């Protein structure tokens, strides 16, 4: 079979696969997905339901995105206190009684990732766990108590304005993954009811690389997180959140590519509705609106603020595993990630772990690849003989038809059909591994060798994509047809361009697989030339 036939076959398989994928996804969304709620509803509002217009007065109110602070500070001196938590350090500040710094430790990789960074005094709104009121929100709090008992540490702040007194007690544990907030609000004027709002900004990943800070908002994967009415964790794109609110959400928050900040337990039904604020600077915050109160009330809320790791998420709630961006082949991606982490536990380098995984997969695939190559060679021989018959019996159509039928009986109607099998098998492997490597926190800033310092990001020097394009070109058999060679060059350039956008981890996997197939093709060709092919 010539290169053109191979290219057409491969392209046809991909087109069929993606068409089926789109049809199945559309069918599931149509028959099983959520229905639009952008109309006035008269039925009872359910927890987690997305709404834009409802008869219930509390839900129908305009979204409250702005904050009115008390202008006169009780004290403009910032006090900070760091509390140890499980594989993280949480620094609290009396400015807003919020988390001023959050550092996640990665002992296996020997790195630290900072997802909440100190803000200037002028930026009061984008603070984790800021509590706002409809008017006269206090910003300068007093630290009243901090203590550590066993593996539990807590800190208490009190802030006051003319309308309310706010008490916030944060508790973290070195044995758990949750951060608890005990929120007490006491209205100070009987004729002025109080309605609190809790702000949860998205993670802002700041890492230390090559001796200088690197800021990464991961804006392409910023999204809201909501527990829907069907009990599933839904992701809401940042472009699809305007003028929408969710009634009484049991889980609500925000995420980026690697981390999540979200409410996971609402013990006293604080959340009456939740919505999002997305400003022009790409700051995304979840806003959880509490009930209107006229007397002192206390709520206990539990939050998860950490990396999107399967083990940690499952410890909190198994439904949170949906936050992992593993895509259509999520079940297969989880298996591959477990294997990859297992290999890394021995080699201590995810780059080498990816190479070993690629070699193992190609070793398992070898019988199918070998059979496919043998089938393709058989079809090439058939096509050569078919062309010879067409030239030999060009003037005798009846004899030509008889000879063709005889040739088909000898080789089969489609002798190269088995050659498609390796491609079909590789599709879920590539899709699953690509999604896993793209979203796995384990690969963030995981170095390999030399210039590759982050396997989750594209190759900064484009060396891996260029090597992949070159290996793809040499993987195809050379042809005397100039058009086929030009097409092969174009395809190699396209593959190079695509791989420039993907993570260097997936590029490394594809490169190893391509080099292995080049070696296999050459070995098969040598064996065939030395008449040993029939033994295999």
CA proximity to 440, closest of 259, 233, 173, 191: 259
CA distance 472 to 517: 10
Residue 205 zone, left/alpha/beta (φ > 0; ψ -120 to 50; rest) = beta
Whether the CA torsion 528, 530, 535, 536 is positive or negative: it is negative
Structure tokens at 468: 């992949």
Rg of the chain on CA atoms, in Å: 30
Residues 85-122 as b/e (b if ≥16 CB within 10 A, e otherwise) read bbbbbbebbbbbbbbbbbbbebeebebbbbbbeebeee
For each of the chain's 536 residues, which pLDDT tens digit applies?
444 454 445 555 444 544 544 454 444 444 433 333 333 333 455 555 555 544 456 666 788 889 999 866 655 688 899 888 888 889 999 999 999 999 988 777 677 888 899 998 888 999 999 999 999 999 999 998 888 888 899 999 999 999 999 999 999 988 878 999 999 999 998 888 999 999 999 998 764 433 334 444 445 577 888 877 777 788 888 777 777 888 888 899 999 888 999 999 999 999 999 999 988 788 889 999 999 999 999 999 999 998 888 888 888 888 888 888 777 777 778 888 888 889 988 888 888 999 999 898 888 877 776 676 666 666 667 777 777 777 777 777 777 777 777 777 766 655 545 555 666 677 777 777 777 777 788 887 788 888 888 888 888 888 888 888 888 777 665 555 566 667 777 777 888 888 888 888 888 888 888 888 778 767 766 665 554 445 44
CA distance 426 to 435: 14
Delineate the domains of the chain, giving CATH numbers in brackets. Answer: 3-17+332-535 (no CATH), 34-324 (2.70.98)
Predicted TM-score of the model (pTM): 0.74
Residue 96 zone, left/alpha/beta (φ > 0; ψ -120 to 50; rest) = left
Structure tokens at 489: 């060059």
> Mutual orientation of helices 463-475 and 482-501 as an angle, nearest 10°?
150
Structure tokens at 376: 């393709």
Distances 459 to 225, 272, 349, 441 between C-alpha atoms, Å: 30, 46, 17, 17
């Amino acid at each position: 079979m010539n290169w053109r036939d191979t290219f057409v076959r491969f392209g046809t398989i991909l087109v069929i696969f993606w068409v089926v994928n789109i049809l199945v996804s559309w069918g599931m969304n149509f028959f099983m997905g959520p229905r639009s709620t952008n109309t006035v509803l008269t039925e009872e509002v359910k927890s987690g339901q997305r709404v834009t217009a409802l008869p219930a007065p509390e839900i129908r109110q305009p979204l409250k995105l702005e904050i009115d602070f008390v202008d006169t500070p009780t004290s403009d001196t910032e006090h900070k206190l760091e509390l140890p938590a499980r594989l993280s350090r949480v620094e609290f500040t009396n400015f807003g009684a919020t988390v001023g710094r959050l550092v996640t430790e990665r002992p296996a990789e020997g790195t630290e990732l900072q997802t909440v960074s100190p803000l200037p005094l002028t930026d009061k709104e984008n603070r984790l766990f800021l509590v706002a009121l409809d008017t006269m929100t206090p910003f300068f709090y007093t630290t009243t108590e901090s203590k550590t008992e066993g593996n539990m540490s807590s800190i208490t702040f009190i802030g006051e304005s003319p309308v309310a007194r706010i008490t916030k007690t944060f508790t973290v544990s070195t044995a758990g993954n949750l951060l608890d907030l005990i929120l007490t609000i006491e209205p100070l004027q009987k004729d002025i009811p109080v309605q609190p709002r809790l702000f949860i900004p998205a993670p802002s990943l700041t890492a230390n690389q090559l001796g200088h800070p690197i800021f990464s908002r991961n804006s392409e994967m910023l999204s809201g997180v909501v527990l829907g009415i069907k009990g599933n964790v839904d992701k809401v794109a940042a472009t699809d959140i305007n003028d929408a609110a969710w009634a009484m959400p049991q889980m609500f928050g925000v995420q980026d590519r690697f981390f999540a900040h979200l409410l996971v337990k609402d013990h006293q039904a604080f959340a009456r509705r939740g919505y999002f604020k997305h400003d022009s600077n790409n700051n995304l915050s979840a806003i959880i609106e509490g009930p209107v109160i006229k007397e002192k009330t206390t709520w206990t809320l539990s939050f998860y603020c950490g990396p999107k790791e399967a083990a940690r998420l499952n410890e909190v709630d198994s439904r949170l595993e949906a936050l992992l961006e593993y895509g259509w082949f999520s079940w297969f991606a989880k298996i591959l990630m477990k294997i990859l982490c297992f290999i890394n536990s021995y080699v201590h380098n995810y780059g080498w772990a990816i190479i070993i995984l690629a070699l193992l997969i190609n070793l398992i695939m070898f019988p199918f690849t070998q059979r496919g190559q043998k089938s393709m060679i058989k079809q090439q021989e058939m096509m050569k003989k078919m062309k010879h018959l067409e030239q030999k019996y060009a003037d005798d159509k009846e004899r030509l038809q008889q000879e063709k039928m005889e040739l088909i009986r000898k080789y089969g109607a489609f002798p190269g059909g088995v050659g498609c099998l390796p491609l079909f098998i590789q599709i879920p492997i590539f899709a699953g591994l690509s999604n896993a490597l793209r979203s796995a926190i384990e690969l963030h800033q995981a170095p390999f060798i030399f210039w590759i310092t982050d396997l989750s990001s594209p190759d900064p020097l484009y060396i891996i994509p260029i090597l992949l394009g070159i290996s793809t070109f040499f993987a195809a058999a050379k042809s005397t047809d100039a058009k086929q060679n030009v097409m092969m060059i174009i395809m190699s350039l396209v593959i190079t361009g695509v791989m420039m956008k993907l993570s260097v981890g997936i590029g490394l996997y594809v490169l190893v697989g391509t080099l292995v197939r080049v070696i296999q093709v050459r070995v098969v060709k040598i064996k065939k030339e030395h008449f040993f092919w029939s033994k295999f």
